[in-house]
A and B are shown apart, each in its own frame.
Chain A
Amino acid sequence: MIELKNIQKSFDTKDGKFQALKDVSIKIQEGEIFGIIGFSGAGKSTLLRVMNLLERPDSGEVNINGKNLCFLSRKDLLKERQSIGMIFQNFNLLSNKTIAENVEFPLKLAREKKSERIKRVAECLEIVGLTNKKDAYPVSLSGGQRQRVGIARALASNPKILLCDEPTSALDPRTTENILEFLKKINKQFGITIVVVTHEMEVVEQICNKVAVMENGEIVENFDLKEPITEFHSEIGEYLFKHLLNLEAKVDYVI
């Protein structure tokens, strides 16, 4: 379970302090695919990066499976990060390493045995269907294939949690669909909790169980997508989700 409590984060800019996260609390249960949607600059990436402490909050708690990451020693934090995978909008693969070497990378960092590494790399490439590309370099792959390598790499160390920062925003619609299918599959198959930051509604609609809407460093809406949406607390919430508004449910709710 991921539980953020009262997270505040500000950045020093040349115009003074900029408050990127204003008292954000969020609770994500095990096995969920949790969406965080909002416009550019809302603070989504910052919030996601707080979850593995790539960004250390000014105040608040970051509890991952009951452990407050803020209190861990540097060494323990690095260890903890190995069980939290992350994928990125621009894939961020090592360009001078082959696909297999890229997937092997987190295992190398964790000082796994060579034989174990080879085995795991093969498994992960199999999962994303890129076994035949193992000796290729990232440059020769399409965007969708690169993101699949990103997924394989994130899976390599058997994470419990996968953080996704705009995983499909650099991809065309068809490839987007394909990547979302992979995310859904690994959530089902391995029970990995997925947090996905996006500005695309289709991502939320296609894979998320729950979603939080962010605006100006705050969470302004929380929806459980298994239940009908009955009311809005914000303009942006209405703007994004009005087509999902269930009027009948709303009537029930009002009465």
Chain B
Amino acid sequence: MLSNILNVLPEILTALGQTFYMLGETLFVAIVVGTPLGTILYLIRPGATHHKKVLYIVLDGLVNIIRSFPFLILLIAIIPFTRFVVGTAIGTTAVIVPLSICVIPEFARLVEQTLLDVNTGVVEAAESMGANLFQIIWYVLYSEARAGIANVITIITISLLSYTTVAGLVGGGGIGDFAIRYGYYRYKIDIMFFTVLIIIILVQIIQMIGNRTVRVLDKKK
């Protein structure tokens, strides 16, 4: 068994590298696009001072629609778009497009929820001091919600890890794809078992880092 695993170790490492690549890139896009999107949703929600009815309905609807797509279907449905963006619909880089599209709305929604937990009294206090909108977002909302946002990043990272397993379908590779290839197609149970173990450990590590970060950032307790 051990020799089996040792034999495929280089391949596992490559797969891990691909997973981290997909994870890292997509997470970056999710944070950069999803945070402002979630913030906008929060700011223009019904009942807020900056409520924008039409824009809210459009963005909110869009987020809901994309979130209701199973990743596998989304991956296939947007192949033309993926080809348009990265020039190809196949490979590790190509899979980042559907991954991002899938995860941005989820990220945005969770950020919105986190911001909703911010005490509106603190926002009001900042307004009373003459804070402008940018200052309120930056110094109040993100400061108060920082532990929550770290938690969102943790949750999304773990979801992403699971989404990347589907990446194999379009030649994206990664550790999940590896597990499917060896375990499902070639019946190498020991190798699959080992890969699943790696994935479990990865999830544990991500969750642990996430929890610790949240604890450091949260000064409310």
B131 within 8 A of A: yes
Min CB distance, A143 to chain B, in Å?
A: 14
Residue of B nearest to A87 (CB): B125
* A163 and B124 alpha carbons, distance in the complex (Å): 13
* 0 or 1 for each of A132-162: is its CB under 8 Å from B? (1 = yes): 0000011100000000000000000100000
Tell me if A106 counts as interface (CB < 8 A to partner B): yes
Interface size on A, residues (CB 8 A): 29
CA A110 to CA B131, docked complex, whole Å: 8
Q: A109-B135, A139-B220 are in contact. Are A95 and B130 (CB under 8 A)?
A: no
User: With the chains together, A77 CA to B128 CA distance in Å?
Assistant: 10
Asked if B144 contacts A88 (CB within 8 A), the reply is: no
On whether the beta carbons of A86 and B125 are closer than 8 Å, the reply is: yes
Chain A residues 81-120 with CB under 8 Å of chain B are 81-82, 84-86, 88, 90, 92-97, 105-106, 108-110
Structural contact, B121 and A109, CB atoms closer than 8 A: no
Partner of B122, one of A78, A86, A94: A94
A110, B143: Cα distance in complex, Å = 18
A96 B130 Cβ-Cβ under 8 A: no
The answer to whether A84 and B126 touch (CB under 8 A), given A90-B121, A96-B146, A139-B220, is no
Q: Which of B125, B135, B217 contacts A96 (CB 8 A)?
A: B217
**Given the known A-B contacts A86-B125, A94-B143, A96-B144, are A110 and B219 also in contact in the complex, defined by CB atoms under 8 Å?**
no
Task: Given A137-B219, A139-B219, A139-B221, decide whether A93 and B122 contact each other with a Cβ distance below 8 A.
Answer: yes
Cross-chain contact A81 with B128 (CB below 8 angstroms): yes
On chain B, the residues within 8 Å of A92 by CB distance are: 119, 121-122, 124-125
B220 contacts A94, C-beta separation under 8 Å: no
1/0 contact trace for B26-41 toward A, CB 8 Å? Answer: 0000000000000000
Q: List 17 A-B contacts (CB under 8 A).
A: A54-B128, A78-B132, A79-B130, A81-B127, A81-B130, A88-B121, A88-B125, A90-B119, A93-B125, A95-B144, A95-B220, A96-B144, A96-B219, A105-B139, A138-B219, A139-B219, A163-B128
| 8 other A-B residue contacts (CB within 8 Å) besides A82-B130, A106-B130, A109-B130 | A54-B128, A81-B127, A92-B124, A93-B122, A94-B122, A94-B140, A95-B219, A95-B220
